[in-house]
Structure 1
Amino acid sequence: MTRPPARLPDSPRISDLVTLGVLTTTVPAALIDAVLVATQRQSQRHRQLPAPLVVYYVMALALYAQASYGEVLRCLLEGVRWLRLGGLDALGATKSAITRARIRLGVTPVRELFQRVAHPIADPGTPGAWYRGRRLVSVDGTTIDLPDTPELEAQFGRPAASRGASSFPKLRLVGLIETGTHAMFAVAVGRYDTSEVRLTPRVLQHLQPNMLCLADRAFVGFELWRLAAATGADLLWRVRINHKLPCRQRLSDGSYLSRLYASPKQRRHDEGGQVVRVIDYRLEGIADAEPLYRLVTTLLDPAVAPATELAALYHERWECEGTFAEFKVSLPGQRLMLRSRRADLAEQELYGFLLVHLALCGS
């Protein structure tokens, strides 16, 4: 039996109007017009679905993730009328017309919009956003489910399963996240079979000297560490306990200085290593805690950053999991699966979700 399409209330809800207002504040119409011109995607003639309206429609797909394409358009136009943004000729546009308009728009303008508006948003008083004057950020990755189509499988890949293949294709996303606000201000998107480590250099370039970046042990390697440290940001990354980091100088708080090397050969010859401070600690009395935790950091002076503070601080990295839960469950209302069945439109839709999540983090 076919289910009836999801339908939202006929009259606009105040919450919808407020959310659309927040969205248009974060992504104002003037900025959309500028990006459309810069990417040569502005409407060349009068259309039922002009390009600026389609940009807002892509973002509205995240606000009304459980509604049909037509319902999303209707709810958007209610808000557009209230916000006096124009575009009311779009009422009654068919699903195929909406898809054609999204194809004309493409992914480039929406990606460019995200890159222009995405930035850390914590102010000096934001709880959990700072450590001794440094802005706390974390790098982590996740995967996003996609519809089961040959095009999406070819573009993004599909995980293996114990019996054959998994149910859905997936894409991989690595994000740089402000821990205190959950604002994801830089992302890298790739195939499912592309490792997080390979995608991470594209987000590390967004680190700044006033930041302290946290990362899990999966990310630590000489090249990533070198790239991240070169930005001027400080780093606090977990490493595996079998990572060879011999003590070169014991410090007053029990931590010690060592060096990271690009290869065992360079370690043997003491060539080209990077000085790091190593912090080992245990979580006594915590069920299921691992026997030993090991961190490395660029903060070499225990007077500036005591080992006990850094050990406690590292666990702020778990704010990434809360961010991905917001993005993949809370925002869409259930586990996120992008609805677009074309590869270009799936990526376009993803950036729409990222823009909406960023707007809500700052509201």
Structure 2
Amino acid sequence: MHTTPLFSMQFHIQTLSKKRRTTAQRLADEIAVARTRSLEQLSTCLEEFIPEHLLVQNASGKHSRSRIFTKQTTFWAFLSQVINADGGCSEVVSKLRAFAALKCPFAISPSTGAYCSARKNVLKEEIKTVFDHTAETLDKMERRDFCDRRVIVVDGTGLTAPDTKDNQEKWPQQKQQQVGCGFPSLRVCACFSLKTGGVLSYRTGNKRSHELRLFRDQWDDLFQPGDINLADKMFSSYFEFAMLLKRGVDSVVTQPAHKRRPIAEENAVKKLGGNDLIVVWKKPVWSKKAAYSREEWEALPQTLTLRQIKVDVTANGFRVKSFYIITTLLNPDEYPANDLAELYLRRWEVELNFDDLKTTMGMDELRCKTPDMVEKELLMYFIAYNAARWMICKAAGTSGADPMRISFKGALQELRNWEGQLNHPKTTQQDKRKLIAELYRGIALKIVPLRPNRKEPRCLKRRPKPYQLLTEHRSTMNETKHRDKYRAKAA
């Protein structure tokens, strides 16, 4: 029979009565309630996707003591910050203060200093571990796509960061811009799953970093034998075809006309059909400007047998009337030319993925003022993006819809609008499960209509304000008087 020890720390030795809790202990309990309940709505929705063991407190050092902003609370606050439309630190602190106003006997400071310090103390490697887990989890949900093979689509984009000295040193602005008139320019090369749209891997660089080099840095952690690499003409080179083939990875890319001209039918090795040829590429001459060493160049084969497919475009909205696909998938019976053409047209989905990240979520203009925090912010954007994609896949699994047909912006709106109900003090666990099920059902109903061959010119309809452009430093810039004010003064 188990008995309580007489000298237990919970009791007075003289009276064996339970100790009265001190004011500090009661305040600690209230702080724990405030920090877990105020931001737990996101963790409730994503507890299967981001498990708690990835965010445990450190044994010593930073994030080892009990504070309002623990590592777990700071992570979910940071994630809430990039998901919400405002995206400011003050919004996160205000959310915590609003909940603590009714639950805690003390007022939390409206200053964002404690939260910003807590974000700074979270290591980038810890956030990277969470991102790797989200990418792996999302990749396992829907792994096969084209001919029962995993298709990875790659592309690059540019971002800007706040104009600070540290950011400018790591990511310099454009050379033609005056000091104080531009912003640090980041280049990001990311690889997405074509089936789910999730980010599997990425690398960052400055304006001098070529996307090919950033892409090659991801091969070891990304590709597996049997994968298909889908990319545009920027990633079409002899080196990429040869090195990926050694890894058992096939490629489907377009041929850049300015680098290598299409091979005529009379010079082809074999004709498979109309505009479908088996061709041979010869090994290019090595150059010191190449992005690979001479030893790597010497290890390349002297020739590559590839497949060249000409695709004629008859639909409106395309900038070209025809283009050439170069692929290592040589079997026309297993991989018909029309199927490969349709596969390449799906490459446009990576542009929509970047649009979701940069426009819908606001990643186009990063906010943190140091390179370390900028890299953390970028990781949090990718984690939040993968989390939304995971919820879309879960909703699609229950409804049978195509996950790429469900609106990404609609899913974010559902999550933002439902988190208040999930955080209500009177909401029970049973009610939360019911709300989450209804949340998934609402996401599944956000279907984007099919609009094939819709013409969307890259033009701006809304005119910008007629303000001057900043062409000098703010301290020396002379602003021209506004036209209307100038006329009114002259009259």
Q: Would you say same fold, with TM above 0.5?
A: yes
User: 2:201 maps to which residue?
Assistant: 186
User: 1:5 maps to which residue?
Assistant: none
Does the aligned pair in 2 maintain the 1:174–1:203 contact within 8 Å?
Answer: no
Taking structure 1 as reference, are residues 162 and 186 closer, same or farther at Cα in structure 2, changes over 3 Å only? same
Distance (whole Å) between structure 1 residues aligned to residue 172 and residue 107 of structure 2: 35
From 58, 66, 73, give the equivalent of 1:46.
66
- Name the SS of the counterpart of 2:109 in structure 1: coil
Stretch moving more, 161-170 or 351-360: 161-170
User: 2:236 maps to which residue?
Assistant: 220
Pairwise CA distance, 1:229:
2.7
Distance (whole Å) between structure 2 residues aligned to residue 133 and residue 97 of structure 1: 50
Pairwise CA distance, 1:260:
3.6
Distance (whole Å) between structure 1 residues aligned to residue 257 and residue 326 of structure 2: 11
User: 1:296 maps to which residue?
Assistant: 326
Taking structure 1 as reference, are residues 165 and 92 closer, same or farther at Cα in structure 2, changes over 3 Å only? closer
Distance (whole Å) between structure 1 residues aligned to residue 96 and residue 52 of structure 2: 14
Taking structure 1 as reference, are residues 241 and 67 closer, same or farther at Cα in structure 2, changes over 3 Å only? closer
Q: Sequence identity, in percent?
A: 21
Distance (whole Å) between structure 1 residues aligned to residue 204 and residue 96 of structure 2: 27
**1:276-296: CA deviations, max 9, x gaps?**
111112113545542431111
From 298, 302, 321, give the equivalent of 1:272.
302
Pairwise CA distance, 1:18:
5.5
From 23, 38, 56, give the equivalent of 1:33.
56
Distance (whole Å) between structure 2 residues aligned to residue 161 and residue 23 of structure 1: 45
Q: Which amino acid aligns with 2:71?
A: A
Stretch moving more, 152-161 or 91-100: 91-100
Pairwise CA distance, 1:68:
3.1
Distance (whole Å) between structure 2 residues aligned to residue 226 and residue 33 of structure 1: 44
User: 2:135 maps to which residue?
Assistant: 118
Q: Which amino acid aligns with 1:214?
A: L
> Does 1:99 pair with 2:120?
no
Q: Which amino acid aligns with 2:200?
A: F
User: 2:280 maps to which residue?
Assistant: 259
Does the aligned pair in 1 maintain the 2:55–2:71 contact within 8 Å?
Answer: no
Does the aligned pair in 2 maintain the 1:140–1:215 contact within 8 Å?
Answer: yes
User: 1:232 maps to which residue?
Assistant: 248
User: 2:365 maps to which residue?
Assistant: 337
User: 1:66 maps to which residue?
Assistant: 86
Does the aligned pair in 2 maintain the 1:22–1:359 contact within 8 Å?
Answer: no
Does the aligned pair in 2 maintain the 1:277–1:297 contact within 8 Å?
Answer: yes
From 163, 183, 187, give the equivalent of 1:172.
187
Q: Which amino acid aligns with 2:255?
A: V
User: 1:315 maps to which residue?
Assistant: 345
Distance (whole Å) between structure 1 residues aligned to residue 317 and residue 86 of structure 2: 39
Does the aligned pair in 2 maintain the 1:277–1:296 contact within 8 Å?
Answer: yes
Does the aligned pair in 1 maintain the 2:280–2:305 contact within 8 Å?
Answer: yes
- Name the SS of the counterpart of 2:154 in structure 1: strand
Distance (whole Å) between structure 2 residues aligned to residue 76 and residue 254 of structure 1: 63
**1:174-222: CA deviations, max 9, x gaps?**
1111123221111111223212111011233302234322100011112
> Does 1:328 pair with 2:328?
no
Q: Which amino acid aligns with 2:380?
A: G
User: 2:5 maps to which residue?
Assistant: none
Q: Which amino acid aligns with 1:23?
A: L
Taking structure 1 as reference, are residues 45 and 271 closer, same or farther at Cα in structure 2, changes over 3 Å only? closer
Higher strand share: 1
Stretch moving more, 144-153 or 96-105: 96-105
Structure of larger gyration radius = 2
User: 2:336 maps to which residue?
Assistant: 306
From 128, 149, 160, give the equivalent of 2:164.
149
Pairwise CA distance, 1:355:
0.3
Distance (whole Å) between structure 1 residues aligned to residue 52 and residue 186 of structure 2: 30
Taking structure 1 as reference, are residues 17 and 337 closer, same or farther at Cα in structure 2, changes over 3 Å only? same
Specify every segment of 5 or more residues in structure 1 that has no aligned partner in the other structure, as ranges. Answer: 1-15, 81-88
> Does 1:158 pair with 2:181?
no
Does the aligned pair in 2 maintain the 1:137–1:214 contact within 8 Å?
Answer: yes
Question: With CA pairs under 8 Å and 6+ residues apart, which has the higher RCO, 1 or 2?
Answer: 1
Q: Which amino acid aligns with 1:292?
A: S
Distance (whole Å) between structure 1 residues aligned to residue 180 and residue 387 of structure 2: 36
Stretch moving more, 141-150 or 237-246: 237-246
Distance (whole Å) between structure 2 residues aligned to residue 249 and residue 77 of structure 1: 71
Q: Which amino acid aligns with 2:184?
A: P
Does the aligned pair in 2 maintain the 1:241–1:293 contact within 8 Å?
Answer: no
Q: Which amino acid aligns with 2:383?
A: L
User: 1:283 maps to which residue?
Assistant: 313
The alignment covers a number of residue pairs equal to 331
Specify every segment of 5 or more residues in structure 2 that has no aligned partner in the other structure, as ranges. Answer: 1-38, 101-105, 288-299, 392-491
Does the aligned pair in 2 maintain the 1:253–1:302 contact within 8 Å?
Answer: no
Distance (whole Å) between structure 2 residues aligned to residue 21 and residue 196 of structure 1: 38
User: 1:346 maps to which residue?
Assistant: 374
**1:148-184: CA deviations, max 9, x gaps?**
1111111112134577886321211111111232211
Does the aligned pair in 1 maintain the 2:43–2:76 contact within 8 Å?
Answer: no
User: 1:249 maps to which residue?
Assistant: 270
Pairwise CA distance, 1:327:
0.7
Distance (whole Å) between structure 1 residues aligned to residue 183 and residue 108 of structure 2: 33
User: 2:25 maps to which residue?
Assistant: none
Distance (whole Å) between structure 2 residues aligned to residue 238 and residue 101 of structure 1: 46
User: 1:4 maps to which residue?
Assistant: none
The TM-score normalised by the length of structure 2 is 0.60
Q: Which amino acid aligns with 2:216?
A: P
- Name the SS of the counterpart of 1:359 in structure 2: helix
- Name the SS of the counterpart of 1:143 in structure 2: strand
Q: Which amino acid aligns with 1:220?
A: S
